[in-house]
Amino acid sequence: MKSLPTGIFIPGDSPIHRLDSSIKLLALFITVVTIVLVNSFLGYVIMILFIMMIAMLSGISLPVALNATNKLYWFFIIILLMNTFFYSPEDAWFSFWVFTPSMTGFTYGLTVVLRVFLALVISNILTSTTPPMEITHALEHLISPFSYVGIPTGQIAMILSIAIQFIPTLAEETDTIRKAQMTRGARFDSKKITQKAEAVLPMVIPIFLAAFKRADELSVAMEARGYRGVSGRTKKSSRPLLVGDYGALLIVLLVCLLQIALRLINLTRTY
């Protein structure tokens, strides 16, 4: 049995699944902005509880909700360490060579990690509860005002949607190329950074070539199925906005306003 790639749509009938996709996308945008706005301990507690509530309502299991962050632990650790050791030389615990570890740096690093973590989890919940084409239509709808100044919003939305969808396929292809290079002596397991870099560089060209080949084949297949831009296209699913959609957006806006208020009051400020 194959495992589902990260961010793939999981069919369901939860309240989050049933929400209008444009509302969900707009709510995601507001939530991510809110996450960036948070600068207090209480603010983070509220955001974590809020995202946990959304995850529970979506019916998505905890491992699935968190799997977007699974491969990023090293990234999180590096961000935390770099901030701890380099961010604030003024109030460092001690100084050794170029290292100036400080509580301020540690707190700031933790804040950055938490922000990225929460943004990834909430984005993952959106893609797990919304079919890709609905995301395309939602994006197209939200950026449609730009079409008045000649920007091809429909095509942009389609490109973004397909690009996101091809990430697991390209990741699989990268793994195949990596294994092929390993059989020919590439040292990805080497502890020496120079050797690792030497092994990674020859992978770049085959990965790009494979991506271009796939893009070319997909564009021909899309043309063969009658794609000629957005004009004249119908949409499989489009429905008027319901009370629940407005309610969901209102809740997200209230959380955002609460965070702005907390920021203004500057309660228990972290960063």
Partner 1 sequence: MPIIQAKNLSHSYGFEGKHNRSIEDITLGVKKGEWIAILGQNGSGKTTFVKHINALLPVQQGELTVAGYDATNPANIWAIRQKCGMVFQDPNNQFVSSVIEEDLSFGLENYGVPQSEIPGHVKRALEIVGMPGFEMKSTHMLSGGQKQRIAIAGVLAINPDIIVFDEATAMLDPEGRQEVIGTIQRLHAEEGKTIIMISHLVEEAVYADRVVIFQQGRLVAEGTPEVVLSDVALLSCAGLKPPMAVRAYHDLQSAGVHLPTIPLTNKALVEAICQLN
Among 33, 78, 103, 220, binds partner 1 (CB under 8 A): 220
Nearest to 104 by CA among 267, 265, 269: 269
DSSP 8-state class, residue 5? P
Among 63, 236, 243, 266, binds partner 1 (CB under 8 A): 236
Does 240 engage in binding with partner 1 (CB under 8 A)?
no
> How many chain residues bind partner 1 (CB under 8 A)?
35
Nearest to 99 by CA among 107, 87, 111: 87
Alpha carbons within 13 A on the beta-carbon side of 34: 28
Dihedral over alpha carbons 231, 232, 233, 237 (to 10 degrees): 120
Record the tokens describing residue 162, joined without a space: 């397909």
Does 226 engage in binding with partner 1 (CB under 8 A)?
yes
Ramachandran angles phi, psi of 202, nearest 5°: -65, -15
Does 168 engage in binding with partner 1 (CB under 8 A)?
yes
Does 11 engage in binding with partner 1 (CB under 8 A)?
yes
Smaller CB separation from partner 1, 81 or 207: 207
Sign of the torsion formed by the C-alpha atoms of 206, 210, 215 and 220? positive
Minimum CB separation from partner 1 for residue 217, in Å?
4
Record the tokens describing residue 85, joined without a space: 């050791």
Minimum CB separation from partner 1 for residue 43, in Å?
35
Smaller CB separation from partner 1, 18 or 235: 235
Does 214 engage in binding with partner 1 (CB under 8 A)?
yes
Does 234 engage in binding with partner 1 (CB under 8 A)?
yes
Does 18 engage in binding with partner 1 (CB under 8 A)?
no
Identify the bridge partners of residue 259 per DSSP, sorted by sequence position.
Answer: none
Residue with tokens 């699935």: 64
Interaction site with partner 1 (CB under 8 A):
2, 4-5, 8-9, 11, 131-134, 158, 161-162, 165, 168-169, 214, 217-218, 220-228, 232-238
